[in-house]
Amino acid sequence: MPTPFKCVYAKKVQNYKEVEKKLHKGLNKDRVNKNREFFRIPEEDIINFLELIPGENVTPKSEIFEDKVDEVAFKEQSRIGLRFNFLSADIKKGSTLEFIDDESIICKVISNTKVEFEGKEHSLSSAALIAKNSLGFTWKTIAGPLKWMYKSETVDARRERMENE
């Protein structure tokens, strides 16, 4: 792997070679390097694809890193710890965000960098971590902008789209 990663979804499937072949074919336009098996795709998109395939969800409930160096590298690569600014994504104060893993879990934007979640002020990542762990996980870190959606788009994807327009 070029950088450490966190497994956000894993599924045990029948005939994994055929499933992998079809995923590669369907995701070819998102391939980072045509000679490698790495793709740049929003995690919710790949999760939606995998949920269509029969099998058993075997997503790890806790974080697994080889060592502290990998954990630090993952945090740096995934923007964990950077404060998200809602202005960069044109998300206004008072807007409602939905949690990607359970759209019934919501938070409300209360400033350029904070949300209200469960009656308290949080960063986007803090709220996402509480939401994720309420679903039975024991994660210690999370990239909040990848886990909250606004108008059916992650806030990270929205920010990136707006920066490129």
| Residue at token pair 């060592």 | 67
Question: For the chain, what are the domain ranges?
Answer: 11-77, 86-164
Q: Express each pLDDT in 70-117 by its tens digit.
A: 766 666 555 544 578 899 899 999 999 999 999 999 999 999 999 999
pLDDT of residue 67: 75
Q: Express each pLDDT in 138-163 by its tens digit.
A: 888 888 898 999 999 999 889 888 88
139, 62 contact by CB (below 8 A):
yes
pTM of the model: 0.59
pLDDT of residue 149: 95
pLDDT of residue 138: 87
